[in-house]
Amino acid sequence: MASISSRIHNDDIIYPSAVAFVLVHLACLAVFWTGFRTVDVVVCLALYFVRMFAITAGLHRYFSHKSFKTSRFFQFVLALVAGTSAQKGAIWWAAKHREHHKYSDTPNDVHSPAQSGFWMAHLGWIFTHSKGDADLSTVKDLTRYPELVWLDKHDRLPAVVLALLVLLTLGWSGLVVGFFVSTVLVYHCTFAINSLAHVYGKQRYITGDDSRNNWLLALLTMGEGWHNNHHHYQASTRQGFRWWEIDVTFYLLKLLSWLGVVWDLRSPPRAVVQGVKPLRPPVIEKVARELALSFSIETITAEIRAKWEQMPDLDALRERTRLTRARAEAYLSDWHLPELPSFEELRARALEKYAQSPSLDDIAGRARQILLEALCDELLQPVPVPSTPR
């Protein structure tokens, strides 16, 4: 079994063993000795797409999100094929991924570019041992299958067996290009969803994190690049919400559903696609906090303090803000403070920063409340007395 811990860390997509990860990269250099044939390149591409499908359809959309149903047999096939990409077992992967959605782009997110920089988000976290821990209490729906637990326990076996099969059938150049180069491509395109898809692309929906829609990544990862859509509505099997958002994994799953291999594929409700559904309270809170922080509370406080110094009833005002916290907030809220961003100003900045949403008023209102609370905290602090020269 992959390392088990109750500590909460957060991952988006994968965690290969660090040493094996380096060795797989180094093995690709052997191509300078072996050379390559057309058949090696064809196998490289075929193994790339088959394994990418197992990752996106299996590890992500099925094991992590349960966005469709299938038989116990096909569930095992998905976990087995995904296992040949050397990204640990399906149970571990799903646990890490569920953590990702819980903590996206917060300090608990081990591969958030916003938190730790691009390279740490892309692959640096793999070399930080503690970040490989997964909280298996979130995947009890998967640990009840002994065959999946067995695969997680022997998580390198499928990749080793595949490598041997390729070596036996295609020789050394087949192993290097067909298996190792293909595995490295699968690694980095999967990692790109952790890193690039949280930096480059469009945010159609407010999700409270940095997830983006990126068409190039969607093509390379068979649909995973519609990452902002996915963060917006994780329960959907389909991640390309519009007809032009190519999502090959979904097309293949649709095909498999016609053959009866998978069923109950879930689609996003129309209101979700159109973005007319109000946001969930935790998302509103997260975005409002970010919006409030885009203003400098120190500057606002300094401006208000400077103005107060010139007012005749300064002491009375101070006295009033020294009242209980709640009354001070109510007082400040009623008082006309041009230094404090108004609801309209906050709403305008929210429109600039974020996608359209029916919750923009709630976000602006909550952001103003957060600013008021912070302003109160600052104003209730003792006023620094400038030292006067004797």
Query: For residue 131, what are the β-bridge partners?
Result: none
Residue 125 gets which letter from DSSP? G
Nearer residue to Zn ion within complex by CB, 211 or 301: 211
**Smallest gap from residue 207 Cβ to Zn ion (A):** 9
Instruction: Report how far residue 342's alpha carbon sits from residue 319's, in angstroms, rounded to the nearest whole number.
Output: 24
Q: What share of the chain is helix, strand, coil (3-state, %, to 5)?
A: 65, 5, 35
Residue 310 gets which letter from DSSP? T
End-to-end alpha-carbon separation of the chain, Å?
73
**Smallest gap from residue 47 Cβ to Zn ion (A):** 24
Nearer residue to Zn ion within complex by CB, 47 or 57: 57
Q: In the complex, which residues of this chain contact Zn ion (CB under 5 A)?
A: 12, 211
The rounded radius of gyration (Å) of the Cα atoms in the chain is 26
φ, ψ for residue 10, nearest 5 deg? -140, 135
**Smallest gap from residue 65 Cβ to Zn ion (A):** 6
φ, ψ for residue 109, nearest 5 deg? -90, 110
Nearer residue to Zn ion within complex by CB, 40 or 99: 99
Distances from the Cα of 136 to the Cαs of 88, 109, 144, 285, 291, in angstroms?
Answer: 14, 17, 12, 28, 34
**Smallest gap from residue 132 Cβ to Zn ion (A):** 18
The continuous run of DSSP H or E covering 263 comes out as strand 262-263
**Residue 217 in contact with residue 196, Cβ under 8 Å?**
yes
Q: Is 107 helix (H, G, I), strand (E, B) or coil?
A: coil
Nearer residue to Zn ion within complex by CB, 190 or 211: 211
**Smallest gap from residue 99 Cβ to Zn ion (A):** 11
Instruction: Report how far residue 95's alpha carbon sits from residue 7's, in angstroms, rounded to the nearest whole number.
Output: 12
Nearer residue to Zn ion within complex by CB, 124 or 365: 124
Residue number with the smallest Cβ distance to Zn ion? 12
**Residue 60 in contact with residue 197, Cβ under 8 Å?**
no
**Residue 90 in contact with residue 58, Cβ under 8 Å?**
yes
**Smallest gap from residue 145 Cβ to Zn ion (A):** 20
Residue 56 gets which letter from DSSP? I
Query: For residue 226, what are the β-bridge partners?
Result: 213
**Smallest gap from residue 112 Cβ to Zn ion (A):** 9
**Smallest gap from residue 100 Cβ to Zn ion (A):** 6
Q: Which residues contact 15 (CB under 8 A, 6 or more apart)?
A: 2, 87, 88, 92, 93, 96, 126, 131, 132
Nearer residue to Zn ion within complex by CB, 163 or 217: 217
